């Protein structure tokens, strides 16, 4: 049978990124003990109140079809949440419920990209970004972030990379994998750049609540003059440690939501109403579990950085936000991939090579902060051993 070209385009963007992780899983299946620092899956407990809201939704029989754009009560809650964050009125009609940020990214690019349109990706970037751009026929165009400036933006390079075919840029702050949080000045310059070249800004804000001291989360959506061109995608997968709930959303202009609803409905026919009830509770509350999780991620990063302090050939610093540390292994002379494979082979520590996140991640290894402090300190000891044995 003859398949559509999308199956070809997406098949080339897959599993080799995960080779080290997959090998770790195979070794685990054979009974070996390993330290997994490869996947950004929260290990911390989600808020009990949100779990209870989901259970109550089932008990009350909230099991029918939901509205395609999401339940009205949920969109009212999102409206309050974003009105408070942005300081201006954001209407319930400016949201679409989607089952996770990933689905929101897919729908957003389906709605704005024609075949051949270029999309700027700040490189290194999250592992699925090339695919979400490529699915509707878009062309991902990487723009290197500066590893020697903690992966912040090189605006000269951005300006050099834009072409008449550039249609959008995809931001992720706090960033997976780099841990960078873009400053107010950076967001303002990105906004001016987007206006100058008439670009969409797709802003992946899945780590927005995980910003560490001395840094502040700023979204382009906070700026009213960027509202018509900004599409925010987010979820409670990280903020509330609930990736399995698949509860996310788009926040954008009314026009974007009106035009994009049929794209989303064509595939989804609405969400799961008892989980939308839980999402409403999640966004309405302030939970000690979330504060504890944020604190835990920072303490683990501190344990890692302290354990690697002064190590030969390694550079690690605290992330500005998110759940990851980018470990710079360039002074070892190995690629991120070589270092990650050696670490797995010799010390049973599973990480992600920086190259899995684009060429901009070369010479780095991404460490997920998803084990307790003591295990993180042990991982640091093993990482150090590999580097110092070179
Ligand atoms: C940057 C980024 N965007 C999107 C996702 C997907 O999130 P969700 O579970 O909301 O689909 C992840 C998950 O790791 C991520 O790190």
Residue 365 tokens read as 């290894």
Query: Ligand 1: distance of its center to the CA of 89 in Å?
Result: 27
* Integer Cα distance of 382 and 258 in angstroms: 52
Residue 52 domain-assigned (yes or no) = no
Residues 6+ apart with CB under 8 A from 69: 75, 95, 96, 97, 257, 261, 264
- pLDDT tens-digit map of 292-315: 999 999 999 999 999 999 999 999
- pLDDT tens-digit map of 161-182: 999 999 999 999 999 999 999 9
Query: Ligand 1: distance of its center to the CA of 313 in Å?
Result: 31
Output the pLDDT for position 15.
Answer: 72
Identify the three-state secondary structure at position 335.
coil
Answer whether residue 12 shows pLDDT above 80: no
Ligand 1 mutation target, pool 176, 203, 297, 361, most atoms within 8 A of CB? 176
Q: Which helix or strand (DSSP H or E) is residue 220 part of?
A: none
Mean of pLDDT over the chain: 96
Residue 239 domain-assigned (yes or no) = yes
Residue 58 domain-assigned (yes or no) = no
The closest of 316, 296, 310, 312 to 374, measured between CA atoms, is 296
Kindly list the protein residues whose Cβ atom lies closer than 6 A to any atom of ligand 1: 40, 100-102, 126, 172, 176, 204, 206, 235, 237, 243, 248
What's the burial of 4, exposed, middle or buried (CB within 10 Å: 0-12/13-18/19+)?
exposed
**Over residues 265-270, mean pLDDT:** 92
Residue 336 phi, psi dihedral angles, 5° rounding: -60, -40
Residue 56 domain-assigned (yes or no) = no
Q: Closest ligand 1 atom to the C-alpha of 175? A: 1
- pLDDT tens-digit map of 19-48: 999 999 999 999 999 999 999 999 999 999
The residue whose CA has the least distance to atom 14 of ligand 1 is 40
Residue 120 tokens read as 């700027």
**Over residues 216-230, mean pLDDT:** 98
Angle at 310 between CA 306 and CA 314, to 5 degrees: 90
* Integer Cα distance of 285 and 72 in angstroms: 18
* Integer Cα distance of 17 and 241 in angstroms: 24
* Integer Cα distance of 373 and 342 in angstroms: 23
Which range marks the domain in which residue 322 is found? 5-46+288-388
Q: Closest ligand 1 atom to the C-alpha of 105? A: 4
- pLDDT tens-digit map of 314-334: 999 999 999 999 999 999 999
**Are 384 and 355 in the same domain?**
yes
The total domain count for the chain is: 2
* CATH number of residue 209's parent domain: 3.40.640.10
Residue 55 domain-assigned (yes or no) = no
Residue 130 tokens read as 């090339």
Ligand 1 mutation target, pool 38, 101, 297, 361, most atoms within 8 A of CB? 101
Of the three residues 284, 313, 342, the one that is the final residue of a domain is 284
Of the three residues 214, 249, 284, the one that is the final residue of a domain is 284
Residues 6+ apart with CB under 8 A from 62: 273, 274, 277
Cα separations (Å) of 266 from 5, 95, 110, 368?
20, 17, 12, 35
Output the pLDDT for position 98.
Answer: 98
Ligand 1 mutation target, pool 238, 242, 249, 361, most atoms within 8 A of CB? 238
Residue 53 domain-assigned (yes or no) = no
**Are 265 and 192 in the same domain?**
yes
Query: Ligand 1: distance of its center to the CA of 379 in Å?
Result: 25
Query: Ligand 1: distance of its center to the CA of 235 in Å?
Result: 8
Of the three residues 224, 259, 284, the one that is the final residue of a domain is 284
Query: Ligand 1: distance of its center to the CA of 386 in Å?
Result: 30
* Integer Cα distance of 9 and 23 in angstroms: 25
Answer whether residue 230 shows pLDDT above 70: yes
Query: Ligand 1: distance of its center to the CA of 323 in Å?
Result: 11
Query: Ligand 1: distance of its center to the CA of 146 in Å?
Result: 23
Query: Ligand 1: distance of its center to the CA of 206 in Å?
Result: 6
**Are 256 and 369 in the same domain?**
no
DSSP strand pairing (364-368 vs 324-328)? antiparallel
């Amino acid at each position: 049978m003859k398949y559509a070209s999308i199956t070809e385009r997406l098949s080339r963007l897959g599993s080799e990124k995960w080779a080290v992780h997959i090998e770790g899983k195979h070794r685990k299946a054979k009974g070996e003990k390993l330290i997994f620092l490869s996947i950004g899956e929260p290990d911390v407990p989600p808020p009990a109140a949100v779990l209870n809201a989901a259970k109550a939704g089932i008990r009350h029989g909230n099991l029918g079809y939901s509205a395609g754009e999401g339940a009205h009560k949920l969109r009212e809650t999102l409206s309050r949440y974003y009105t408070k964050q942005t300081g201006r009125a954001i209407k319930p009609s400016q949201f679409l419920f989607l089952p996770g940020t990933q689905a929101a990214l897919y729908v957003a690019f389906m709605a704005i990209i024609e075949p051949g349109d270029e999309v700027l990706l700040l490189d290194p970037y999250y592992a699925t970004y090339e695919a979400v751009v490529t699915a509707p026929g878009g062309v991902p165009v990487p723009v290197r972030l500066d590893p020697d400036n903690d992966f912040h933006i090189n605006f000269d390079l951005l300006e050099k990379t834009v072409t008449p075919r550039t249609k959008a840029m995809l931001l992720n702050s706090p960033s997976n994998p780099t841990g960078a949080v873009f400053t107010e000045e950076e967001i303002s310059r990105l906004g001016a750049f987007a206006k100058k070249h008439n670009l969409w800004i797709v802003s992946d804000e899945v780590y927005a609540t995980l910003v560490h001291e001395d840094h502040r989360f700023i979204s382009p959506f906070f700026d009213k003059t960027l509202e018509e061109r900004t599409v925010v995608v987010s979820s409670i997968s990280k903020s509330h440690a609930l990736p399995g709930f698949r509860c996310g959303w788009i926040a954008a202009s009314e026009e974007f939501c009106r035009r994009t609803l049929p794209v989303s409905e064509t595939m989804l026919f609405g969400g799961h109403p008892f989980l939308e009830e839980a999402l409403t509770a999640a966004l309405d509350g302030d939970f000690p579990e979330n504060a504890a999780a944020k604190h835990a991620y920072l303490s683990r990063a501190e344990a890692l950085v302290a354990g690697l302090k002064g190590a030969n050939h390694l550079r690690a610093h605290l992330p500005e936000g998110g759940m990851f540390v980018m470990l710079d292994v360039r002074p070892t002379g190995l690629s991120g991939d070589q270092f990650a494979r050696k670490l797995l082979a010799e010390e049973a520590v599973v990480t992600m090579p920086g190259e899995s996140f684009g060429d901009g991640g070369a010479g780095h290894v991404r460490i997920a902060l998803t084990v307790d402090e003591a295990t993180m300190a042990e991982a640091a000891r093993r990482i150090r051993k590999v580097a110092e044995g070179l």
